[in-house]
Structure formats: structure tokens, C-alpha cells
Structure 1
């Protein structure tokens, strides 16, 4: 069974959730099934600057203060920090607890992703442990390359230190962030098994019950999964993300009408109207009775200011499918 943890390593609940998952796994009845825990990237604060800021300075920022209050309604940021410290201590984290820096986590996620590719889930889990320990217990700046390189060496992933000075893993992490968004991952941490998700750092017994249900998902071809993720991103009003998700499909399955329709929607909603028109005209030429392609082509031509051309396709779309009229 593969367990995915979608989490941001600068999220205190991610580290607490890691300990709780470990307790849940330790208490499982042995059933012979191999368990693999894989970490996936999540971003709790996309506005974090590239250069880390001392945490006390960050707390004085009104936007950060407002965000912290939203995370814990009814508590001041200071009260919430005390609460989380107490919870962390109860879960065996400490004795010192608390980040010293408001730090960007992108390179840390790159290091963890590269560790998975080079040494598997076990190595990645050790890197995740050392990254979060450095951030929450040692007070290190985990956005600093030299700190991450030291972490890589301590974790047994010496090769990762040199890789951090390249762009290795960068695009993979960015795509995984998009996949998480497409899969509606909205909380750090979120534990995923198959197509089931458990949001938040739940108690070990809740996690154990969740894991006991196993992976009941139906395996889908990779192309179908990617197509569905692109659809999800379009539904979330992220056409550029959808086009990024579609790129491999456009390269490998350029003739598939479903891929082309989604690409046309992505071009349309990202105001790439000439590209949308090109794709839609080809779709209509290939299938004269494709009323949806005609509808989209008509709307694209309208936005381009070509009303006379648009009206022909809009009328035909309405005649073929009355709800489009």
C-alpha cells in the first residue's frame, strides 16, 4: 500500500502528523502488506520571500498576522503558538520547539523529491525528518542552500547536495504542486491512499482506521488521470495550470479530440485566442457535427471581434444542441 503525505515542511502540523502516522503504522496488525510512505509537496504560504525573514519580524507583518488568525479562529497567534508547542511536545517533538525563520520551502521539496528518485521512500522519509527537525527544532533556515546541503549529507543523500545547485527536480515539484491542486489537496498534511484522503494531523487511531480501509481505487491509465487533472484545474479557473498538465498529452496524443477540446478551453480561458481558434477550427473540420466545438469556436471568434464569422458557428451549435442556443 502506498501512502502519500501531501504537506509543506514549514507547516508545524506536517511534522506532528508525521509522528502520528508513525504511531498509527507501528500499531497496525501485521498483514504481510508492504507499506510505502511517499512525501508530496504542498505550499501553505505562496507569498514567502525567497530570502528567509526572522520569524519575529514576519509576525509583525499585518498580512502574516491575519493569515495566522485565520488558521486558528478564536486564538491570537501567540496563543496558537503555545498550543501547537504543547501538542508537539505531547507527540514527542522537542524539547525546544518553534521555527526561527519564515522560509521558502521549494528547495527543500526539491531535495525530498530527488531523494525519492535516488534512494526510494526510505531515504526520502529521512530527508523529510531532517528538514523538519532543522526547521522546527534546530532553528535553521531551510531555504538556505548550505543548510539543505548539510541536511542532505546527514540524511545519507550526499549526492543531493550537489544536485541542489542545479535545476534538478524543479519542474517535477512544480508539476506535483499542480497535481495536488487538481486532486483538491487543500490542507497540510493530507494523507492519501488511492483516491481517498484524510485531511489534517489526525490522532493515530483515526489514521489507523483510515489506513485499515486500504486502497480501494481503480487503477486508471496515466493519460486518463492527467486528462482528469487538467479538467479539474480548468474547473478551478487555472487554465495555464491545465495547459501545463496537458502538454505531455498534446505531445503524444495530439489527434485525440478530448485532449484537443481541453486544450482549446485552456487557450480560450487564458486569452490565447488565436491558438484556441486554430485548435477549434481543426476540430470542426474533423467532426462537422461536434456542436460543442462549434459553440466554443463561435465564442472564440466573438472575443476576437469577428461577429460575422462567429454567428454562423453559434447558430449551427444551437441547431444541433438546443441548450447551446
Structure 2
């Protein structure tokens, strides 16, 4: 049984959720299907700056972050709820001094999984405690280098000219950085599965709870999966399914990012290349989309959908051949008249 927790380590409810999940696991008789807990990245505040900004009590940014964890509920109420929940779990009443990017911390949490979920959980605990109990800036080089040394993890990537690490999608990561790819892929797989809140709990790729679930509720959900066999899906299939889901969710760039490792091995597969062409067109990479569609139509000129996609792509490029491809598509498939 695989339990995945998608959470932002700047989220007070992740701080509470870790303790509740540990209590839930203690309540459940594992049997043969022993749960493995893995932490995955989620960003409540993807535009958080680097270097971090120090906050004052009642800062509107923190109010906005709190409201994102429970849309429609006032930030003041969320703050009181979080404090009471932490106290009930025997945790320090949380405070938050910084608006900090959590991306570098997520990279290190992702790297820690290489040495086992137990060590990864220790890293998560250290980050959460540092932020909510000690008021640390978790994107400062001092904290991140301490974390790297303590747990023997890859060091953070510094934002040039500062004492802070690079934030999410900030230029400066080496283009072949495997840890950056793994962390971004983990985040994108969560989006593909429908993760929209922190924390979100998945068991065997199924969302079972979101938000401030109690230990009792989490224990019930875990027990429901105890005797179910876990399905093993090949990585290629999982990756393509996730890319399709991201494309449907209007994230074509994320779709292309997940598909990239499968190329060029699967270039030549009609369905795979059509998916790539769709994602290129949807991401406004119009010239690469045109080139890919031209390759496909040379092999499959009778494919009405490819003709339609080529026509729409050329139309956006202002190309005179657009109408020819659209006419061919509607002649082959009259329903495309209503596209």
C-alpha cells in the first residue's frame, strides 16, 4: 500500500497532518499490505519570492495562503483552527515569519526518498518544525545547507548574488539537473491525479482525503485499502495517462514535460506522436506543432483528426494552406464542420 501526501511545507495543515497520519498508522493493523508513506510536492504559493520576505502578524499574503487551504473560509478562522489543531496534537502553536519559496525544500524532500521513506519523513519533520516552531526561513542557504549536511542530501542551487535558493521555475537550474526533473514530475503527476489542495492524501493513486482530516478518518481510509491488491502500472503507461490528463486540464506544457523522457523511443508510435502534436499546438508552440503534424500527415494522410489539427494550427499561424486541411478534415469527417 502506497500512501502519498501531497503537501506544501509552508502549509500549517501539513504540519498538523504529519502528526495525524502517524497516529492513524498506529491505529491500523497493517497485515500483509504494510503502508509506505511518501511525501510529494505541492505549491500553495508558486509565486513566492526568492529571497524570502519577512512578514508581520496579520499580513494579507498569509491570509491569502490560509484561505487557499480552505476556500470560502475566513483567514482568521483558519488561523484559530490551525492553532487549536496543532495544540490538540501536542505540537507548538504555529507561527509563520516568512513568505518563503518551498521549492528548494521540496527538492531535498524528493532527494531524501532515494534513501528510504523513513529518512524522507525525518526531513519533512525537520523542515516543518524549523518553520513553524523556530520561525526559520526555509529558503535560506543557511537552513538548506544545514539540511543537506545533516541528511547527506544534494545541496541547494543558490540564486546568484543572494543568500537564498532558487524558487519554482526561476532561471538558473542546470538544464540536465535530474533532481529538478524528478521534483517537477512528482508535482505534475499530482496535478494529473486531481490534487488541488494541501494536504491531499492518496492511497494507491486514489485521492482519499483532502485538508484537515482527523487521525480517525485517515485510519478508516487506510483500513479500507488494507486487503486490496496494489495494481502495478508500467511507468510508460502512467506517464502517458498523466500527460493526457494534464492536456485535458489545460496544462499542455506540463504534458510535454512528462512526455519528454519517452522521446525518441516512442517517436514513430502514431498515438504517442499525435498526443505530442496536440500538446504542442495547445501550448502555442505552433511551428513545432506544424512540423510534427507534417511528419504525421505524410504517413497518415487519411487521418481526419490530424488534418483538422493541422488546419487549426496553420490558421493560427496565418498560413494560406489552413483552409485546404480544414476542408479535407470535414470531407472525411462531416462532424468537424462544427469544430
With normalisation by structure 2, the TM-score equals 0.86
Shift of 1:319: 2.1
User: Unpaired runs of 5+ in structure 1?
Assistant: none
Aligned to 1:147: 143
Distance 1:140 1:66 in 2: 20
Residue among 155, 162, 181 paired with 1:163? 155
Q: 8 Å contact 2:96–2:132 — kept in the other structure?
A: yes
Are 1:311 and 2:315 an aligned pair? no
> What is the SS of the residue equivalent to 2:5?
strand
Shift of 1:133: 0.5
Distance 1:114 1:139 in 2: 24
Residue among 197, 204, 221 paired with 2:215? 204
Sort the Cα spacing of 1:72 and 1:200 in 2 relative to 1 into closer, same or farther, 3 A.
Answer: closer
Residue among 240, 249, 253 paired with 1:236? 249
Shift of 1:170: 2.1
Q: Mean Cα displacement is larger for which, 189-198 or 209-218?
A: 209-218
Shift of 1:277: 1.4
Shift of 1:116: 0.9
Sort the Cα spacing of 1:289 and 1:266 in 2 relative to 1 into closer, same or farther, 3 A.
Answer: same
Shift of 1:71: 4.7
Q: Which has the higher helix share?
A: 1
> What is the SS of the residue equivalent to 2:202?
strand
Are 1:137 and 2:129 an aligned pair? no
Q: 8 Å contact 1:127–1:152 — kept in the other structure?
A: no
Q: In angstroms, what is the RMSD of aligned CA positions? A: 2.2
Number of equivalences: 316
Aligned to 2:315: 302
Alignment of 1:33-48 (within 5 A): 33-48=33-48
Aligned to 2:258: 245
Aligned to 1:53: 53
Distance 1:70 1:170 in 2: 25
> What is the SS of the residue equivalent to 2:56?
helix
Distance 1:290 1:217 in 2: 38
With normalisation by structure 1, the TM-score equals 0.89
Aligned to 1:293: 306
